[in-house]
Chains A and B, each alone.
Chain A
Amino acid sequence: MRLLKEKAGRTVMFILTVLPTLLLVLMFFGLFRKSRAILALKSFGGLLFSSGWHPLRGEFGLFPFLMGTLWVTAVALVIAVPISLLMAVYLSEYAPRGFREFAKPLIDLLSGIPSVIFGVWGVLVIVPLVGRIAPLFGRYSSGYSVLAGGIVLAVMIFPTIIHVALEVFSAIPFPLREASLSLGATRWETTRHVVLRKGSQGIIAACVLGLSRALGETMAVLMVVGNVPAAPKSVFDAGYPLPALIANNYGEIMSVPLYDSALMLAALVLFIVVLTFNILARWFLVRAERRAE
């Protein structure tokens, strides 16, 4: 009887274990199948690089959205990478242990805050801020802009980059730092020439993971970025990243022909891009592990 339970349990567990891989495959094919309708009519390259987004006319150029994603993500990285790395270095190399233990839970907390809440903050605080500083740069902006999206996105990916960077730094054995310090180097010189160099692969991985998280973030960016389907020409312009496109237009999906197919294609593109970057990041992490020894 017990053996029967064992057998049954094992079979059930085995089936369930196969599911995740199956799910991954299903996701890809599900989205692909739905995209086929539009891919049958227009070439993939054509869709990616044409700029006209007029669904009612049957034009589904994805280019403005790719540009929107690029701009917002670039702004987010430019802001987030230096700040995150500096904080990670501080926590790892300079901060007293008490502060480190205090800060780490706070970082986790930041990473747990839902996207919409960031959106609320963005709308209440960042959008007016951008609107006010735009004239200083000679431009007019309502505040709903690539810059606002980038800032909010940057704050969202701080924890991602910091967390990975901290892991990378802590994998570097302490005696290596001691070797540098005992030559009379300052802590910054040690950090710069030894820690950052030894951890360089891992730092790249951290940034790539941050990038990948930024690419997929939907709600917060959606709420502050303006959602105008044209490629932005400055950070003060509105943008329309790919995830926002998908999220905003689900209501129209059923009414306009090919709309749902186009959106599923966008989701598929997002899926593949994020997947690629994630795998890239893991490759770098493996290299970092090897280097740290």
Chain B
Amino acid sequence: MNKRRLVERFWKALMIASTAVVIGCLLFIVVTVIWKGLPALSLSMITRIPKGGYYLGKEGGILNAILGSLYLALGATALACVLSLPVVIFLNVYCRKRSRLAELTRFSFDVLWGIPSIVYGAFGFVLMVYFGMRTSLLAGIVTVALLEVPIMSRAIDEVIKLVPRELKEASYSLGATRLETSLKVIIRQCLPGILTGILIAFGRGIGDAASVLFTAGFTDRIPTSLGQPAATLPLAIFFQLGTPFPEVRQRAYASAAILTILILFISVLARVLSRRYTKHVIR
């Protein structure tokens, strides 16, 4: 028995060590980034754009990246919403249980979900060339929207699937059309879950670099129209990390810190929302 007990203890120790490694890495990463970035964060850093030279200006801050990211991610998420929500509703309200279209669409979503963002970026680039567009906010928005659609759809689908049949039937038997039921009853019922899905997709969109690399360009300025290139936080980090100029590197660290804090905030918000949601819906 001693041998067995030893074996049990050995594996349990390994397991605890592995758990410590995983959680430790998470903490390590967050702490490292914030440690490096916090000192660089000052009011001027976040309210000014870089000056003096192509990406390498030594003065100024990262306002270009902050606003660029926000414009891009908000636009992309809105577009993704328009593309996802109706589809999920269609799948759940209008399609029969085992409809071919529903299975095919869900399969497509699953496949799209797994495609790396660099492929989305490459495809976005192909589209850009085809339509004769230059690197711009619009191209970035479209590409990131495509990236976000599978993520948002999956999250919202999970939530809308759970709406009990009886609820829908109650609405129908009052004479409501399916559209009205969807808009007035289902969406309202699932609202927290839907918001969570939107948040998760937004978080993914704002943090992704590979998809905007080819499509949104980079610039020191804040975009004032859809046709202009836009700086984004991830690319700000990527381009400015490796320079020999410490001021420029500081901007990279500051961008990293802001991005991380933003993502942490979104994650916590999404979790709080989804917990409030499951409290309501316990059938």
Minimum Cβ distance to chain B for residue A210 (Å): 12
Chain B residues whose CB sits within 8 angstroms of the CB of A216 once the complex forms? 115-119
Partner of A271, one of B15, B119, B125, B178: B119
Q: When chains A and B are docked, how far (Å) is the Cα of A84 from the Cα of B18?
A: 7
Chain A residues whose CB sits within 8 angstroms of the CB of B78 once the complex forms? none
Chain A residues whose CB sits within 8 angstroms of the CB of B150 once the complex forms? 20
User: Is B238 located at the chain interface by the 8 A CB criterion?
Assistant: yes
User: Is A274 located at the chain interface by the 8 A CB criterion?
Assistant: yes
Partner of A243, one of B16, B118, B234, B266: B118
Indicate with 1 or 0, residue by residue over A76-87, a CB within 8 angstroms of chain B CB atoms: 000000111011
User: Is B209 located at the chain interface by the 8 A CB criterion?
Assistant: yes
User: Is A264 located at the chain interface by the 8 A CB criterion?
Assistant: yes
Chain A residues whose CB sits within 8 angstroms of the CB of B144 once the complex forms? none
User: Is B189 located at the chain interface by the 8 A CB criterion?
Assistant: no
Contact A121 B15 (CB under 8 A): no
User: Is B167 located at the chain interface by the 8 A CB criterion?
Assistant: no
User: Is A110 located at the chain interface by the 8 A CB criterion?
Assistant: yes
User: Is B133 located at the chain interface by the 8 A CB criterion?
Assistant: no
Contact B23 A267 (CB under 8 A): no
Look across to chain A and name the residue whose beta carbon is closest to the beta carbon of B232: A116
Chain B residues whose CB sits within 8 angstroms of the CB of A125 once the complex forms? 28, 32
Q: When chains A and B are docked, how far (Å) is the Cα of A103 from the Cα of B22?
A: 10
Q: When chains A and B are docked, how far (Å) is the Cα of A275 from the Cα of B115?
A: 7
Look across to chain B and name the residue whose beta carbon is closest to the beta carbon of A30: B126
Contact B178 A83 (CB under 8 A): no
User: Is B169 located at the chain interface by the 8 A CB criterion?
Assistant: no
Look across to chain A and name the residue whose beta carbon is closest to the beta carbon of B29: A121
Which of B50-58, B89-97, B158-166, B221-229 contacts its partner?
A: B89-97
Contact B108 A6 (CB under 8 A): no
Contact B122 A218 (CB under 8 A): no
Minimum Cβ distance to chain B for residue A77 (Å): 15
Minimum Cβ distance to chain A for residue B25 (Å): 5
Minimum Cβ distance to chain B for residue A278 (Å): 4
Look across to chain B and name the residue whose beta carbon is closest to the beta carbon of A264: B122
Task: Decide: A114 near B207, CB < 8 A? Known: A31-B126, A187-B8, A223-B238.
Answer: yes
Partner of A246, one of B18, B21, B118, B237: B118
Chain B residues whose CB sits within 8 angstroms of the CB of A267 once the complex forms? 118-119, 122-123
Q: When chains A and B are docked, how far (Å) is the Cα of A89 from the Cα of B22?
A: 13
Contact A90 B111 (CB under 8 A): no
Look across to chain A and name the residue whose beta carbon is closest to the beta carbon of B91: A17
Contact A16 B114 (CB under 8 A): no
Q: When chains A and B are docked, how far (Å) is the Cα of A94 from the Cα of B177?
A: 51
Chain B residues whose CB sits within 8 angstroms of the CB of A6 once the complex forms? 177-180
User: Is A112 located at the chain interface by the 8 A CB criterion?
Assistant: yes
- B interface size (C-beta, 8 A): 83
Q: When chains A and B are docked, how far (Å) is the Cα of A17 from the Cα of B109?
A: 10
Minimum Cβ distance to chain A for residue B27 (Å): 9
Chain A residues whose CB sits within 8 angstroms of the CB of B180 once the complex forms? 2, 6
Minimum Cβ distance to chain B for residue A223 (Å): 7
Contact B19 A21 (CB under 8 A): no
Partner of A110, one of B11, B19, B22: B22
Minimum Cβ distance to chain A for residue B207 (Å): 3
User: Is B148 located at the chain interface by the 8 A CB criterion?
Assistant: no
User: Is A41 located at the chain interface by the 8 A CB criterion?
Assistant: no
User: Is A56 located at the chain interface by the 8 A CB criterion?
Assistant: no
Minimum Cβ distance to chain A for residue B86 (Å): 4
User: Is A123 located at the chain interface by the 8 A CB criterion?
Assistant: yes
Which of A7-15, A168-176, A199-207, A232-240 contacts its partner?
A: A7-15
User: Is A107 located at the chain interface by the 8 A CB criterion?
Assistant: yes
Chain B residues whose CB sits within 8 angstroms of the CB of A158 once the complex forms? 22, 25
Minimum Cβ distance to chain B for residue A205 (Å): 13
Within B83-105, which residues are at the interface with A (CB < 8 Å)? 83, 86-87, 89-91, 94, 101, 104-105
Within A87-126, which residues are at the interface with B (CB < 8 Å)? 87, 89-91, 94-95, 103, 105-110, 112-121, 123-125
Q: When chains A and B are docked, how far (Å) is the Cα of A86 from the Cα of B14?
A: 7
Q: When chains A and B are docked, how far (Å) is the Cα of A125 from the Cα of B104?
A: 44
Within A211-267, which residues are at the interface with B (CB < 8 Å)? 212-213, 215-219, 223, 243, 246-247, 250, 253, 263-264, 267
Contact B104 A86 (CB under 8 A): no
Contact A30 B127 (CB under 8 A): yes
Partner of A114, one of B112, B130, B208, B241: B208
Minimum Cβ distance to chain A for residue B211 (Å): 9
Q: When chains A and B are docked, how far (Å) is the Cα of A274 from the Cα of B11?
A: 33
Q: Which 9 A-B pairs have the closest CB atoms?
A: A216-B116, A114-B207, A90-B15, A86-B18, A267-B122, A13-B90, A278-B114, A20-B108, A9-B179
19 contacts between A and B (CB under 8 A): A10-B178, A17-B91, A20-B150, A86-B19, A87-B15, A87-B19, A106-B26, A112-B266, A113-B263, A116-B238, A119-B237, A158-B25, A186-B7, A189-B4, A189-B8, A215-B116, A243-B116, A247-B118, A267-B119
Additional pairs, 18, CB under 8 Å, beyond known A83-B22, A188-B12 = A13-B89, A16-B90, A18-B101, A30-B127, A31-B123, A33-B126, A87-B21, A103-B23, A109-B26, A115-B210, A116-B234, A209-B114, A213-B114, A216-B119, A218-B118, A219-B238, A267-B123, A271-B115
